[in-house]
A and B are shown apart, each in its own frame.
Chain A
Amino acid sequence: ELKVEQNPLFLSMQEGKNYTIYCNYSTTSDRLYWYRQDPGKSLESLFVLLSNGAVKQEGRLMASLDTKARLSTLHITAAVHDLSATYFCSWGGSEKLVFGKGTKLTVNP
């Protein structure tokens, strides 16, 4: 059975600090997605990672993919309050998409 595991599920951090969210998956794929969801809102696609070693950055967020380790990371640099949200990773195949349980990030002033 395909599993996508995110950790931590809850993350409380101070502004200005760095942290990493991890996304492990059980079946080989060359496709991994990251999304953001604000409370009561829809989802926003952040990154689509399509190959081993792929790294993408947008502002204070950087995502990477290691297909050999079956691991993707979402690194947060110098966190700010506006980054508070729930972050989901998703494993993708041509006919399947499986989500992690999400990481609820709270950035405290």
Chain B
Amino acid sequence: DTAVSQTPKYLVTQMGNDKSIKCEQNLGHDTMYWYKQDSKKFLKIMFSYNNKELIINETVPNRFSPKSPDKAHLNLHINSLELGDSAVYFCASSQAGTQETQYFGPGTRLLVL
């Protein structure tokens, strides 16, 4: 069983489109995260939710909106995609808060043309 899963794995789309990436964890964790890794492999946290409540909200364009329908899911919706949004997006989860070990999903490779 996959602990943290993301869909889709690859996403190729045109500038200006709106897209969503879904994340689900079956570990019973309370905290979930979205990270962005750019072409230079730099990692940056975007958002973190603890039990459906937003706890980390880094400076990202408001075109990015996370949604947590329940504590097992954290989806990322991106409006009006731009070339610079091309990156790998990782979802992760941890038991309770940032003090715990994080488990990462396989990543979603987004390419905006």
Residues of chain A having any CB pair with chain B under 8 Å: 31, 33, 37, 41-45, 48, 50, 86, 88, 90, 92-99, 101-102
Q: Is B1 an interface residue (CB 8 A)?
A: no
Contacting residue for A44 out of B58, B97, B99, B104, CB 8 A: B104
| Majority SS at the chain A contact face | strand
Residue pair B43, A99 in contact (C-beta under 8 Å): yes
Q: How many residues of B contact A (CB 8 A)?
A: 23
Tally of A-B Cβ pairs under 8 angstroms:
53
- Taken together as a complex, chains A and B put the C-alpha atoms of A86 and B43 apart, in Å, by 12
Residues of chain B having any CB pair with chain A under 8 Å: 33, 41-45, 48, 55-56, 58, 90, 92, 97-107
- Taken together as a complex, chains A and B put the C-alpha atoms of A92 and B55 apart, in Å, by 13
Residue pair A97, B98 in contact (C-beta under 8 Å): yes
Q: How far apart are A30's CB and chain B's nearest CB, in angstroms?
A: 9
Q: Which residues of B contact A102 (CB under 8 A)?
A: 41-43
CB contact under 8 A between A42 and B104, given known A94-B98, A97-B56: yes
Nearest B residue to A42, CB-CB: B104
